[in-house]
């Protein structure tokens, strides 16, 4: 990471999953699925979105990356009103894999690198949590690994956990989008004390299991009473997956963020990976839902930035040569 201002920077930022079941708005894990953003100080603002899934994202100054970058400049007391921005992402949009958090973190880190990293990582985390209103996805994309965090409406604090080397993640991504607002809208404004205690105890046990590498405890800990029961009707097949995936080789299963992606934690030494993947796909297919499955690992590395030279080529050539190679 450079400590002097640069003209152009390339950012790589991981996807994330939030909640992991009981850790609602407080647990996040970075995943090795990435977005790349090129940012450069320019004489005129241009925004180039690479790939089909970027359809519908604004290409003017209402673009999220542009707006977040300007927040960094404002916070640091500098002015760069015109930017050249290119973005490519393998993170599916509005599927519960932290696509908006990755864009926010990527824009923060990229803009900060352009001005010589005037803001600390902690300051970037504060801005990101303020924008997202919860710190789990942004914390994971910023720091990598597993992040335990809170946001109290004014500040965010977090502790990073190094993921167990045997932890693997299977996601089933349904072929429909689910807006976070809709997924939050079905949740009650108040919960029973027994449900609050249920989640506190399970979330605490899950954090302890992740820290100590007690992977066998995950199946007991990864249960939730605060959000998944209310969101299950939005995702046909989810209830079956929550109840039965552990019988097919999962350490534990949860809705990824606000969904609709379903996530299973798996011990990579398990001999039942194909069985589990088949079970996820078949359960959703019975409900008429087509889903893509991906085997991922926790990303130990958070967001990274690289200063680019004139002759380094554009993001499209990088994607063609490096990402799709």
SS3 of the chain: CCCCCCCEEEEEEEEEEECCCCCCCCEEEEEEEEEEEEEEECCCCEEEEECHHHCCCCCCCCCHHHHHHHHHHHHHCCCCCCEEEEEEECCCCCCCCCHHHHHHHHHHHHHHHHCCCCCCHHHHHHHHHHHHCCCHHHHHHHHCCEEEEEECCCCEEEEEECCCCCEEEEEEEECCCCCHHHHHHCCCCCCCHHHHHHHHHHHHHHHHHHHHCCHHHHHHHCCCCCCHHHHHHHCCCHHHHHHHHHHHCCCEEEECCCCCCEEEEEECCCCCHHHHHHHHHHHHHHCCCCEEEEEECECCCCCEEEECCHHHCCHHHHHHHHHCC
280 is in an annotated binding site: no
97 is in an annotated binding site: yes
pLDDT for the residue 3: 54
The domain over range 8-161+299-323 is classified in CATH as 3.30.230.10: yes
Span 167-296 CATH architecture = 2-Layer Sandwich (3.30)
93 is in an annotated binding site: yes
pLDDT for the residue 322: 83
* Cβ-contact 18, 256 below 8 angstroms: yes
pLDDT for the residue 181: 83
95 is in an annotated binding site: yes
Distance in angstroms (rounded) separating the CA atoms of residues 23 and 29? 11
296-310 burial, b at 16+ Cβ within 10 Å, e below that, comes to bebbbebbebebbee
Residues of the chain with pLDDT under 50: 1-2
pLDDT for the residue 2: 42
Q: Which residue ranges make up each domain of the chain?
A: 8-161+299-323, 167-296
79 is in an annotated binding site: no
299 is in an annotated binding site: no
203 is in an annotated binding site: no
304 is in an annotated binding site: no
Select from 92, 32, 98 the least CA-distant residue to 256: 98
252 is in an annotated binding site: no
Whole-structure pTM over 0.85, yes or no? Answer: yes
């Amino acid at each position: 990471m450079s400590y002097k201002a640069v003209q152009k920077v390339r950012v790589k930022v991981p996807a994330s999953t939030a909640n992991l079941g009981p850790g609602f708005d407080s647990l996040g894990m970075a995943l090795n699925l990435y977005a790349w953003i090129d940012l450069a100080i320019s004489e005129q603002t241009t925004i180039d979105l690479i790939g089909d899934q970027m359809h519908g994202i604004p290409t003017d100054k209402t673009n999220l990356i542009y707006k977040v970058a300007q927040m960094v400049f404002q916070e640091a007391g500098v002015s760069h009103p015109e930017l050249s921005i290119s973005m490519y992402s393998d993170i599916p949009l509005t599927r519960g894999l932290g696509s908006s958090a990755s864009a926010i973190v990527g824009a923060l880190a990229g803009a900060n690198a352009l001005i010589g990293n005037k803001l600390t990582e902690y300051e970037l985390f504060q801005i990101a949590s303020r924008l997202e209103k919860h710190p789990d996805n942004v914390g994971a994309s910023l720091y990598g690994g597993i992040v335990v965090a809170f946001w109290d409406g004014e500040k965010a604090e977090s502790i990073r956990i190094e993921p167990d080397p045997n932890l693997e993640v299977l996601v089933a991504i349904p072929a429909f989008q689910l807006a976070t607002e809709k997924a939050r809208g079905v949740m009650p404004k108040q919960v029973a004390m027994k449900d609050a205690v249920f989640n506190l105890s399970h979330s605490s046990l899950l954090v302890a299991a992740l820290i100590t590498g007690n992977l066998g405890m995950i199946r007991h800990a990864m249960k939730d009473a605060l959000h998944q029961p209310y969101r299950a009707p939005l995702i046909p097949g989810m209830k079956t997956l929550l109840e039965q995936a552990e019988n097919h080789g999962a350490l534990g299963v949860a809705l990824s963020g606000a969904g609709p992606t379903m996530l299973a934690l798996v011990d990579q030494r398990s001999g039942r990976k194909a069985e589990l993947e088949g079970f996820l796909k078949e359960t959703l297919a019975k409900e008429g839902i087509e889903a893509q499955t991906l085997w991922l690992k926790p990303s130990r590395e958070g967001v990274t930035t690289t200063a680019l030279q004139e002759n380094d080529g554009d993001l499209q050539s990088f994607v063609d040569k490096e990402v799709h190679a």
